Structure 1
Amino acid sequence: MSRIPAGFVRAVLRGHSSLGLAFAALIYLVCLSGSIAVFAHEFRRWESAAAPQVADVTPDAVQTAFEGAIAWGGPGVEHVYITLPSADFPRLLLYVDAAEDRQYVADAKGQIVEGSAFAWTEFITRLHINLHLPQTWGGFLVGLIGVALLSSLISGILAHPRIFRDAFHLRLGGSKRLQEADLHNRLGVWALPFHIIISLTGAFLGLTTIIVGVLGMAMFNGDVNKVYALFIPAPPVDDPRPAPVLDLRPMFAKLPQDGGRIEYVFTEHPTETGGAALFNVKHPDRLAGTDSYAFRRDATIYNEKQAATNNLGEDILASAGTLHFGWFGGGIVKIVYFALGLGLTYLAASGVNIWLARRRDKGHPAPGWERAWAATVWGQPAGIAAAALAALVAGTIVPTIATWLIVSLAFLLAAIRLSAEKLSAVGSVTTGALILLAAATHLALRGGIAAADGMAWIVNAALVAGGLFLILWARRRSVVAAKPAPVAVAA
C-alpha cells in the first residue's frame, strides 16, 4: 500500500486547522449546548417539579383539559398543542397559541392546576437549534456548523495517516501540547461513528429549509408548500365561523388499538367551524416515524399516514432528530450521548489550544488570542449556568437569554486584563458556584423540596455533583500550578 504524499498531508492539515479556527467558537457552543439538550425531557420535569405526575389519561380527561386551556388562554386561540403523558415526561401539557402564548399542566382528571414555565429547557434547546437567532437564519447557520464539523472530522483523519494505528497510544506526563494533541486525536478516533452521526444529522436538520427550497424550485416551480405537503397533512378548508370547542373524544374512539401510544394532539382553529385535529401515534418497536391521523370537526379522517409504510428516505428523515439528540433507548443512551457530546466539545476546545501551543513553541505566541479563547471556553458554561438560574427566578425566556449574553460578554471583557490561566480558574469556579446556586434556587422556588417527581431530585443531585466537581477541580489545578518546579542539583 503506497504512503500518502507528505505534501498532501501538510495541505490537508493546513485546511483542517483553518476550518477549525474559522468555526471553532460556534462549533464549541453548539456541541456544548447539544450535550446538555440531550436531557431536555428531564429538565422539563425538573422545571415542573411541583406539577402532578400523570401516567395515563382518558379521552374525557384530555377533553376537559383542552376546554380548560382554551378558557384560560383568552380570546384569539389559533392552535392548542397537547402533549400526552409518557415515561420521559409524565405530565399532561397544553400549549395555547393565542394573543398571548401560554402553557398549562393538568392533572389526571384534566383539571388545569397551574401555568407552567419551561424557560430553561426552551433556552438550551433553542440555543442548540438556532442560537436564538431568527428561526430560518439560525437553523441555516447551525446547519453550516454541522457541515464544518463533518469536514473537520474528515480532514482531521486525512491529515493524520497514523491516527488509526496509534488509536491507543497516549504520550502522558511529557509536553502538555503533545499530551493534548494525543488526547484530541484519540477522542476523535474512539468516538468517530458518533461524531459522524451527530454532524451529519445536525447538518441535515439545520439545512432542511435550503433543501426544501431547492426541491421546490426543481420539482414544483418554487412552490415549497407542495414539498411540505409530501410529509405534512394539508389543513382542511378554512371556515372561520364560530363553533363550540372541538370535541376530541370521538376522534380518540376512531384511532386503531394496535399498541401505539398517542404522543401529541395538534388542534387547529378549535373554536371555528373549520377546526381540525392531528393525532401522532408512536409505536415502541419503531425508531423512525409516527402514525398520523388528521380529523375534521365531525371526526371524519381526511388524512392518514402509517409509519410502517414509509420508504427508506422517509425513515431516514423521521429518525434524524431522534438519532441526533439520543432520544431513544432510555436514560443509559442519554448518558452515553452526554458523555460523547462532552468529548466532542473537548475536541473543539482542544483543537484551538493545540494551535495556540504550537505557535508558542515556534516563538510566535498569541497571548491575546489565548485569553480570548479561554474566555470563550469558560464564559459559555458560566453563561449557561447563569441562564439556568435566571430561568428559575424569572420564568421567562427574555431575561434568561439576556443573562447568558451578559455573562458571556463579561468573560470576554475580563480577557483584557486576566491571563488565560486565571480565566480558566475563575470560569471553573464561577460555573460550579452558579450550578450549585441553581440547584438551591430550584429547591427554594420551584417546589424541589416537596417534589413528587423523583427526576427533580436526580437532576438536583447531578447539578450538585457537577458544581462541586468544577470547584474542586479548579482548586486542584491551582494547587498544582503553585508548586515550584523541581530544581536540578549538580552531582
Structure 2
Amino acid sequence: MKFSLKPTPAFVRDMTDGHSVLGLAISTLLYIVCVSGTLAVFYNEFERWEQASELENLDVSPSVYQLATEQAVALAKEQNEEFESVKFTIPNSDMPRLTVEVGDIERYVDEDGSLLGEVQHEWTHFLAYLHFALNLPLGLGVPLVGLIGVLMTALIISGLLAHPKIIKDAFSLRLAGSKRLQQVDLHNRLGVWAAPFHLAIAITGAFIGLSQVAAFAIAGVFFAGDTEKVEHMLYREHPVMKENAAQVPLPDFAAILAQMEQIAPGEERTKLEVAFPGREGQVVEVWTRVPAKLVWGERYHFNGDGSLIEKEGWSEGDAAKQVYLSTFRLHFGHFSGFPVKIAYFLLGIGMCVLVVSGINIWLVRKRQRGQPAVRLERIWMAQVWGIPFAIAFSAVTYLAFAIPAAQVFWLTTIVLSGIAAFVGTVAGWSMLLRGATTAACILAVVVHASLYGADSFVRASLVANAVWLLIAAGIAASCLYTWVRHRDGAFASTVGGAVGSN
C-alpha cells in the first residue's frame, strides 16, 4: 500500500470549506458586535424606555438621601441581603431618575425619600452585554470582543493599504454596474470615508476589551501577580470597615452636597455611594461628569461629617490615565450631546453595511469563479437579517412576556442559521427576514405603547421608539427597492440585499 503525504483533492476541499466556515463565524461575531453597538449608542434612552412611566427630573434635597438610605438598609436587613454600601444614581441628563441600590436590591426613590418599584433594565443590559461580551462570562467575553476589535483594526488598515487608487476612486459609486461592482464600490466608499470613525471604534474597543488582560500582564511582570496594585494606579483603594465598628449617625448629606457646590460648581453629579452606612469609618463618594473632558467622570471622597478626604483626579491625571479613562465615552459616543449619538448611530449602520458587503464580495467572487458557496450564502443571508430580527424580537418577547432576551436572541439566531443551511434560497431568506425584522420593530413600539400609553411618546421613550420605527422604515424601503428591481427585470442572481434563486 502506497503512502503519500500529499493531500488529496477531497481533503483540500474539506479544509477549504472548514476555513470558509471559520471565516464566516468570525464575520458573524463581528457583525453582532457592530449591530448591537449601533443600538447601544442609545443605551440610556433604552433604559428609560423599559420603564417609561417612572418619575423623572426630580429636584432631590439632601434629606431624601438620608431617608432613602435608612429605608434601603432596613430593607436589606429584612431580606438578609449582604451589602457593604448604598449606591444612588443622582438624577442627571442621561438618567433623570433617582435610584438606590443595596446588595442585589435596586429601587426607584420618590420625592419624599420613600422606596418605589424595582429597577428593571434587563433588555438594555442584554444589549450592552451582547456588545461587549457576546453574553458570555465577562472574563471570557470581554477579551474575545477585544480580539475582534484587534481583527477589525487590522482589516481596516489592510483594506486601506490594499487600495492604491484610494484618492482617485474616492467618489466612484457604480450603482448601474454588476452586483459585484456595486458591492465593491459601496464597501470601498464606506471604508474610506468613514475610516477615522471605524478606526476609533475598533481601537477603543480592542483597548477596552484587552485592558483586563493587560492588567494581568502588568501585575505579573511588575507586581508579582497582585492585580489590586495595578487597579490602584487608576482608583483610590476602597475603604475597609473596622472590626467591631461602632454605630454612628448617617453621613451629613447636606454638608457634602454643599461642599460639592463649592469645589465642583460646573460638574454634573451622577452617582453617590455610602460605604458602611451608619458605621464608624463610613465614607461617601460623589461621582461627577466633567465639562469639556472625555474622561468618564471625576470622583470625590468625603468623611461622614462632610469634610473632603480627596479628589480622585481622573480629569487632572497624567496623559496615559486620561487617555485610558476617555476610551469609554469615545467608543460609545456619549459626549457632546444628542447630535453625536445620531452621528454614531448612522456611522454604526455604515459599519454594519461594511461588514456585510465585505463578505458579499467574497461570496460573489467564489460564484464567478465557478465555486459557488450556496450553503454559506444562505446562512450568511439568514444572519445578515436574522440578527437584527432576533434583537428586535427579543425586545418584543421581553416586554410582552418577560422572557430573557439573551435566550431569545441566541436561540433565534442559531435556529435561523441552521434552517438556512438546508432549505430555501438566498433571495427568499432576504425578503422573509427583512419583512420579519420590519414587523418586529413595529411590534416593539406597539407592545410598548400598549403597556405605557402616552408615556411611550415622550422624553427618552420617544427617542427609543423613533429608533425602532426608523429601522423599520429603512428596511421596508430596501424591500421596496428590491421588489421594484425584480419587477423591472434588473434583479441580479447574486449575493447582496437579495440574491437570486439557488
- Please give the TM-score of this superposition, normalised by the length of structure 2: 0.86
The 1:389/1:49 distance shift into structure 2, 3 A limit, reads: same
Q: How many residues align?
A: 464
Counterpart for residue 408 of structure 1: 413
What SS is found at the alignment partner of 1:372? helix
Distance 2:283 2:453 in 1: 38
Sort the Cα spacing of 1:453 and 1:102 in 2 relative to 1 into closer, same or farther, 3 A.
farther
Q: CA deviation at 1:245?
A: 7.5
Change (3 A) 1:234 1:189: same
Deviates more, 1:315-324 or 1:47-56: 47-56
CA contact (8 A) 1:77 1:270 kept: no
Counterpart amino acid of residue 163 in structure 1: I
SS at match of 2:273: strand
Q: Partner letter of residue 438 of structure 2?
A: G
- Partner of residue 170, structure 1: 173
Equivalent residue letter for 2:173 = L
Matched, 1:252 2:281: no
| 8 A contact 1:54–1:108 mirrored in 2 | no
- Asked if the contact 1:54–1:107 (Cα under 8 Å) also holds between the matched residues in 2, the reply is no
Matching of residue 342 in structure 1 with residue 349 in structure 2: yes
Taking the TM superposition and a 5 Å limit, the aligned residue runs for 1:142-291 are 142-239=145-242, 241=244, 243=247, 246-247=250-251, 249=253, 250-255=255-260, 256-270=263-277, 272-273=279-280, 275-291=282-298
**2:390 corresponds to 1:386:** no
Provide the rounded CA distance (Å) in 1 between the counterparts of 2:335 and 2:466: 23
Q: In the TM superposition, what whole-angstrom CA distance separates every residue of 1:435-489 from its partner, at most 9, and x where no partner exists?
A: 11111111112x2424584221232233234324423532442343244469xxx
- Residue in 2 that maps onto 1:458: 463
Among 426, 441, 455, which residue is 1:435 paired with?
441
**Given the alignment of the two structures, is residue 374 of structure 1 paired with residue 385 of structure 2, yes or no?**
no
Check the 8 A contact 1:150/1:196 in 2, yes or no: yes
CA contact (8 A) 2:275 2:282 kept: yes
Q: State the alpha-carbon separation in 2 of the partners of residues 245 and 20 from structure 1.
A: 61
Aligned to 2:338: 331
Q: Is the 8 A contact 1:53 1:452 kept in 2?
A: no
Amino acid of the residue matched to residue 466 of structure 1? I
1:170–1:371 distance in 2 versus 1, CA, 3 Å? same
The farther-off stretch of 425-434 and 156-165 is: 156-165
Structure 2 contact 126–406 (Cα < 8 Å) conserved: yes
Across the aligned residues of Structure 1 and Structure 2, the Cα RMSD in angstroms comes to 2.4
**Worse overlay, 448-457 or 354-363:** 448-457
- The corresponding residue for 1:104 is 107
Q: Deviations over 1:130-169 (max 9, x none)?
A: 1111111110000000000000001111112112331111
Q: 2:94 is matched with which residue: 88, 96, 108?
A: 88
Aligned equivalents of 2:154 and 2:365: distance in 1?
Answer: 22
Which residue, 363, 368, 375 being the options, matches 1:356?
A: 363
Residue type of the partner of 2:220? M
Residue 428 of structure 2 corresponds to residue 425 of structure 1: no
Cα deviation, residue 321, structure 1: 0.2
- Identify unmatched segments of 5+ residues in structure 2: 1-19, 492-502
The aligned amino acid for 1:45 is: R
Matched position secondary structure for 2:100: strand
1:203 partner amino acid: A
Q: Aligned residues: percent identity?
A: 36
8 Å CA contact 1:294, 1:301 repeated in 2:
yes
1:69/1:96 contact within 8 Å kept: yes
- Shift of the 85–161 alpha-carbon distance from structure 1 to 2, 3 Å rule, reads same
Q: Is the 8 A contact 2:220 2:226 kept in 1?
A: yes
Q: Output one character per residue of 1:94-144: Cα deviation in whole Å (capped at 9) or x when no partner.
A: 2332xxx23222233333232121112111111101111111111000000
Is the contact made by 1:70 and 1:77 (CA closer than 8 Å) also made in structure 2?
Answer: no
Summarize the Cα distance change of 1:136–1:457 in structure 2 as closer, same or farther, 3 Å threshold: same
Give 1:234 deviation, angstroms. Answer: 1.0
State the distance in 2 between where 1:352 and 1:371 align.
12
The answer on whether the counterparts of 1:147 and 1:200 sit within 8 Å (CA) in structure 2 is: yes
In structure 2, what is the Cα distance between the partners aligned to 1:484 and 1:182?
Answer: 22
Q: CA deviation at 1:405?
A: 1.6
Q: What letter is aligned with 1:194?
A: F
Equivalent AA in structure 1 for residue 96 of structure 2 = P
Take 1:356 and 1:452, find their aligned partners in 2: how far apart are those partners? 43
Structure 1 residues 196 and 257 mapped into 2: Cα distance closer, same or farther (>3 Å)? closer
Question: Secondary structure of the equivalent of 2:404?
Answer: helix
Deviation at 1:68, TM superposition (A): 3.0
- Does 1:40 pair with 2:40? no
Whether the 8 Å contact between 1:54 and 1:91 is mirrored in structure 2 is yes
| 1:116 partnered with 2:119 | yes
Q: Contact conserved, 1:433 with 1:471, CA < 8 A, in 2?
A: no
- Which SS does the other structure have where 1:95 is aligned? strand
Give the counterpart letter for 1:54 in structure 2. N
Give the 3-state SS of the residue equivalent to 2:454 in structure 1: coil
Change (3 A) 1:300 1:241: farther
Tell me if structure 1 keeps the 8 A contact 2:88–2:271: yes
Given that 2:239 and 2:275 are in contact with CA atoms closer than 8 Å, whether structure 1 keeps it comes out as: no
Answer yes or no: is the 8 Å Cα contact 2:92–2:269 preserved in 1. Answer: no
Structure 2 SS opposite 1:80: strand
Secondary structure of the residue aligned to 1:65 is helix
The answer on whether the counterparts of 1:241 and 1:274 sit within 8 Å (CA) in structure 2 is no
**1:23 counterpart SS class:** helix
Residues 1:75 and 2:80 aligned together: yes
CA distance in 1, matches of 2:355, 2:249: 51
Greater mean alpha carbon deviation, residues 76-85 or residues 297-306: 297-306
Please report how far the alpha carbon of residue 235 of structure 1 lies from its aligned counterpart in structure 2 after TM superposition: 1.8
Whole-Å separation in 2 of the counterparts to 1:394 and 1:148: 38
The answer on whether the counterparts of 1:326 and 1:333 sit within 8 Å (CA) in structure 2 is yes
User: What letter is aligned with 1:90?
Assistant: P
In the TM superposition, residue 429 of structure 1 has moved relative to its aligned partner by: 0.8
Q: Which residue of 2 aligns with 1:12?
A: none
Partners of 1:313 and 1:456 in 2: CA distance: 38
Letter paired with 1:228: E
